[in-house]
């Protein structure tokens, strides 16, 4: 970022370079009131908050599941088209722009920002839940649970939910944000990404503030749910591995620690905070993949994941256009549609962050780093982690399905780690406990920085919002997460958190759809700026 800011010192946004950074009150005040009210309601009326979010969760996914699926498919087609199109050679920042970091560092930052606790939490748990039909996921599709064929199917379904479709959403939001920011010299905001479509209306203060408030609200709710899930995972791990009982005090203590970690690192800035954390996080993830592949059931992993890809590709459009009538509520609504809502909740503001670190790269490079490589990483992760967990289950080494039934949806991970060969669990369990909180902190760091930027006016290209803004939003996000994780349990242990996240996704669904149209107009109807 330092190189970017130096290189573009004379190329500031119109009307920005000579003005002091000030609070964008039209975004800050509504967001502060909404988020603070949610936190207060959660403290004093947690059951009411959970009931309200549950009603909204079910209503949005039951009535708009079809729209989520269509948007997902359109995103996939659009990003693939852009990858192979002539526009791939357009350089973000102009033809003379030079990248400010290596490909390795860039990918580490992009990967770390987009992965909170999801892969760690569900890399083993999700395939096991499908395998055991724990919550009725297989009831409507004619697949018999607890068989090897089901293990293959479980891997295929996990591949579908976590790879190319969700990362297409991040990539497209990031691409239009980067293009408008660096090439068109517009502000780094969600409303600016809609300017090709809305024209002067996107510059209207009221319209811009409403758009940015909704997008920011979605990411705040999404971040809160991500941290809440992470806290639930860690608390469950302490119980399964070390017999430490889950209490409200424990959840609050873990939440306070994590909130401090990502808020402080965000305060330090991208160069001093995020880059360092992202580098450490990515190296740990690579290490875990290699370690489990070498020490695990390597042949089983290779065979099962290959067959799982066949199931995934064979059912691609069936799963992609299922609104719940085919797969049922337990499978389609609670997994795929919820996943899409969660990814869409993150997409617009995640896109802004991906845009910030993309200066000097071509559109093709941007798509490869943010779509192709993270998707491939997710496939490998589920193949190794999910494959190893399924092998332990099928071989009878440990009944992971029963562990999940007894202790909740995220508990299988810890029993799985405890039964790794060569007693690796003694080392990996505490590592994953720390990594779960650390991983979220890294992702939240990038988003807290972006949220602060959305609430600030006159931020020149290459610079960040004031530190106090990052502190405020870090504390608010952490507060909601702590409340929901401490009081929002449910059948799967994280129901309240999932409800909250889905609400955020629906808030931004229609904005994301406008972004897709804006991309089409920018690159296929207008003449792009090179």
For every residue of 239-278, DSSP letters joined together read HHHH-PPP-HHHHHHHHHHHHHHHHHHHHH-IIIIIHHHH
Closest CA to 308 of 465, 434, 418, 149: 149
d(CA 139, CA 526): 49
pLDDT averages per 10-residue partition of the chain, 530 residues: 42 42 76 73 68 84 95 97 95 91 86 73 94 96 95 98 96 96 88 91 84 81 71 82 82 83 70 68 87 94 98 97 94 92 87 90 97 96 96 95 88 89 85 78 72 70 66 78 60 54 81 96 85
Q: Residue for token digits 């807290």?
A: 448
Q: Provide the Cα torsion 295, 299, 300, 306; round to 10°.
A: 120
Which pLDDT does position 214 carry in this prediction?
A: 85
Written as six digits, the tokens of 94 are: 């102009």
Secondary structure (3-state) at 456? strand
Q: Residue for token digits 């995934």?
A: 312
Q: Provide the Cα torsion 278, 283, 285, 290; round to 10°.
A: 170
For every residue of 382-425, DSSP letters joined together read IIIIIHHHHHHHHHTS--HHHHHHHH-TTTHHHHHHHT-GGGTH
Which pLDDT does position 91 carry in this prediction?
A: 96
d(CA 509, CA 77): 18
Which pLDDT does position 116 carry in this prediction?
A: 55
Element (H, E) at 211: helix 205-242
Q: What is the distance, to the nearest Å, from the Cα of residue 153 to the centroid of all Cα atoms in its chain?
A: 24
- How many CA atoms does the CB half-sphere of 356 hold within 13 Å? 33
d(CA 439, CA 268): 17
Domain 2-525 has CATH 1.20.58: no
Closest CA to 365 of 156, 130, 107, 160: 107
Q: Residue for token digits 């972006």?
A: 450
Which pLDDT does position 431 carry in this prediction?
A: 85
Asked if residues 214 and 241 have their Cβ atoms less than 8 Å apart, the reply is: no
Measuring CA to CA, how many Å separate 194 from each of 82, 323, 372? 18, 28, 25
Boundaries of every domain in the chain:
2-525
Written as six digits, the tokens of 204 are: 């209207």
Asked if residues 184 and 304 have their Cβ atoms less than 8 Å apart, the reply is: no
Q: Helices 205-242 & 495-520, crossing angle to 10 degrees?
A: 140
- How many CA atoms does the CB half-sphere of 175 hold within 13 Å? 36
Paired with 23 in beta bridges are 456
Written as six digits, the tokens of 34 are: 């909404």
- How many CA atoms does the CB half-sphere of 129 hold within 13 Å? 24
């Amino acid at each position: 970022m330092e190189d970017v800011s130096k290189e573009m010192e004379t190329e500031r946004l119109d009307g920005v370079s000579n003005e002091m950074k000030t609070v964008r009150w039209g975004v800050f005040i509504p967001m502060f009131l909404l988020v603070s009210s949610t936190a207060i309601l959660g403290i004093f009326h947690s059951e009411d908050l959970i009931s309200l979010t549950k009603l909204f969760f079910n209503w949005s996914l039951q009535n708009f599941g079809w729209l989520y699926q269509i948007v997902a498919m359109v995103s996939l087609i659009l990003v693939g088209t852009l990858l192979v199109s002539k526009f791939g050679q357009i350089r973000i920042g102009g033809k003379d722009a030079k990248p400010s970091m290596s490909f390795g560092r860039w990918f580490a930052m992009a990967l770390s920002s987009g992965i909170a606790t999801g892969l760690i939490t569900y890399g083993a748990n999700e395939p096991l839940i499908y395998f055991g039909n724990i919550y009725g996921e297989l009831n409507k599709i004619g697949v018999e649970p607890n068989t090897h064929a089901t293990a293959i199917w479980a891997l295929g379904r996990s591949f579908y939910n976590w790879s190319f479709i969700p990362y297409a959403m991040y990539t497209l939001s990031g691409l239009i944000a980067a293009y408008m920011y660096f090439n068109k010299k517009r502000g780094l905001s969600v409303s600016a990404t809609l300017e090709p479509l809305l024209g002067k209306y996107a510059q209207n203060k009221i319209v811009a503030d409403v758009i940015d408030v909704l997008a920011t609200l979605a990411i705040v709710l999404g971040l809160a749910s991500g941290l809440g899930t992470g806290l639930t995972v860690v608390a469950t791990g302490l119980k399964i591995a070390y017999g430490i009982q889950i209490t409200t005090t424990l959840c609050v203590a873990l939440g306070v620690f994590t909130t401090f970690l990502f808020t402080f690192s965000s305060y330090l800035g991208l160069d001093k905070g995020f880059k360092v954390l992202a580098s450490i996080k990515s190296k740990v993830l690579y290490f875990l993949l290699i370690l489990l592949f070498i020490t695990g059931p390597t042949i089983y992993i290779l065979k099962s994941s290959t067959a799982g890809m066949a199931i995934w590709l064979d059912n691609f459009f069936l799963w992609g256009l299922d609104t719940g009538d085919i797969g049922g509520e337990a499978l389609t609504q609670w997994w795929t549609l919820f996943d899409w809502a969660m990814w869409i909740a993150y997409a617009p503001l995640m896109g802004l962050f991906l845009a910030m670190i993309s200066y000097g790269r071509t559109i093709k490079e941007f798509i490869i780093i943010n779509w192709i490589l993270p998707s491939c990483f997710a496939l490998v992760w589920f193949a190794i982690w999910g494959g190893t967990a399924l092998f332990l289950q099928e071989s009878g080494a440990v009944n992971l399905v029963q562990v999940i039934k007894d202790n909740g949806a995220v508990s299988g991970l810890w029993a799985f780690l405890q039964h790794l060969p060569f007693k690796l669990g003694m080392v990996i369990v505490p590592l994953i406990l720390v990594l779960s909180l650390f991983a979220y902190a890294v992702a939240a760091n990038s988003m807290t920085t972006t949220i602060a930027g959305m609430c600030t006016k006159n931020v020149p290209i290459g610079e960040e919002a004031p530190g106090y803004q990052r502190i405020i939003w870090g504390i608010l996000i952490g507060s909601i997460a702590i409340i929901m994780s401490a009081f929002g349990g449910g059948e799967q242990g994280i129901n309240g958190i999932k409800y909250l996240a889905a609400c955020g996704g629906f808030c931004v669904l229609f904005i994301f759809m406008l972004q897709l149209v804006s991309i089409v107009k920018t690159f296929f109807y207008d003449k792009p700026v090179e």
